[in-house]
Structure 1
C-alpha cells in the first residue's frame, strides 16, 4: 500500500475510535505510519480525508458484492421493484446494523456536532447523492449509471429517509426497532390505502 491508501485506512480506524470531532491530523499520521504533508498532498485537507474515510466505511457496509452486504443472499431472485425485494433488502440492511454500529454512530455525531465540523458536513452533504443513487440501484436492480435524476431524487431520497429512521431506532433500542417484515407490511398497507374513499 502507498501513503494514500495508508492514510485512508488510518483515518477509518481513527474515525471508529475517536469520531470526527476528536480525530486530529496527528492521530491519522500516527495510525497510518505516514507524515503530515501526505494528508495535504493526497487529500487536500484532514477534513477531506475524513469524509473519504467515512464514505468508504459506509460503502463497505452496503457493498453488494459482499456476502454480508445489503444486496447479498437471494435479493436478485426477487422481482425488480417488488415488495419482496423491498423486504429482502431491508432485512439485509437491518441484519448489518448491529455489526456496523460504530459506523452509524458517526452519522449521528455529525447531526449532533455538525456545527463543529462544518466543512466535513458540507462535503458529506455533497456526497449524499451517491448514497441515494446506490440505494436506488439496490432496490430497483437498475445500474446506477442508468438511473435518471428524477428517480434518484425521489425514490433515492425515500430510501435514505427510511434508512436514517431505521438507524436511529436500532441505535436507540434494538428490541423495539422496526423489522423488515413490519416495514414492508406498512408499505403494502399504505399502497393499498392510496385512493381509498374513507367518506
Structure 2
C-alpha cells in the first residue's frame, strides 16, 4: 500500500476517533506511518485529505446500502422501504463514527466550498440509486425531475433518521415504525383528497 492509500486509511481512522475538526496533520501522519510532506503532495491539504477519506468512507457505506436495496426484493414498496430503513438503522451499530464525522462535515461545509462540493456530488450520485429503489418496473415515463425529488425525499428521511439515532437512539424510530408512519401519512392524504 502506497503513501496515498495509507494516508486515506489513517485519515479515516482519525475521523472516527477524533472527528473532522480535532484531527491534526500530525495525527494523520502518526496513524498512517507516513510524513507531513505526503499530505501536501497527494492531497494538497489536511482538509482535502480528510474530505477524500470521508467521501470514500461514505461511498463504501453506500455499497452496503446498495446491498440492502438489492436485497429488498419484496413486491410491496412499503415492505422494501421498511427493509431499507431497518438496514440503515442496523448500520448505526457498526458505522456510528462515520455518521458522527459526516454530521460534523455537513456543518463545516458551510465554510469550506470544496467540502460542500464533494458532499453535494455524493448526494447527487445517491439520489438516482434511491429513486430506482422506489421507481421500478413501469417507471419509464417518470421524469428525471421526479426521480430527483424521490431520491431527495429518501435522503432527507435518511439524514433525519441519522440525526435522531445519534442524539437519542432509544427514541428514534425503527424501520417498521417509519414504514407505518408513511402508511398513515399516505392514508391521510388519500382521505383528504377524496373528501
2:122 counterpart of 1:127:
yes
- Which residue is equivalent to 1:97? 92
> After superposition, what is the alpha-carbon deviation per residue over 1:86-110, rounded to whole angstroms, capped at 9, x for unaligned?
1111111111112211111112323
Whose relative contact order is higher, 1 or 2, with alpha carbons under 8 Å and at least 6 apart? 2
- Comparing 86-95 with 38-47, greater Cα deviation is found at 38-47
Unaligned runs of 5+ in 1: none
2:171 counterpart of 1:190:
no
- Which residue is equivalent to 1:166? 161
> After superposition, what is the alpha-carbon deviation per residue over 1:104-151, rounded to whole angstroms, capped at 9, x for unaligned?
111232355555656434432343212334433455569xxxx97424
* 1:22-171 to 2 correspondences below 5 Å: 22-64=22-64, 69=65, 71-72=67-68, 75-79=71-75, 82-112=77-107, 119-140=114-135, 149-171=144-166
For residue 39 of structure 1, report the CA deviation from its aligned partner.
Answer: 2.1
Q: TM-score, normalised by structure 1?
A: 0.79
For residue 15 of structure 1, report the CA deviation from its aligned partner.
Answer: 0.6
Maintained 8 Å contact 2:72/2:84 = no
- Comparing 84-93 with 115-124, greater Cα deviation is found at 115-124
**Distance in 2, Cα, partners of 1:63 & 1:51:** 19
> After superposition, what is the alpha-carbon deviation per residue over 1:22-78, rounded to whole angstroms, capped at 9, x for unaligned?
1122221221122223223322332222112112222333424xxxx5634983431
Maintained 8 Å contact 2:25/2:36 = yes
Matched length: 190
- Which residue is equivalent to 1:3? 3
Change (3 A) 1:127 1:44: farther
Q: Write out the 4+ residue segments of structure 1 that deviate beyond 4 Å after TM superposition.
A: 111-119, 137-142
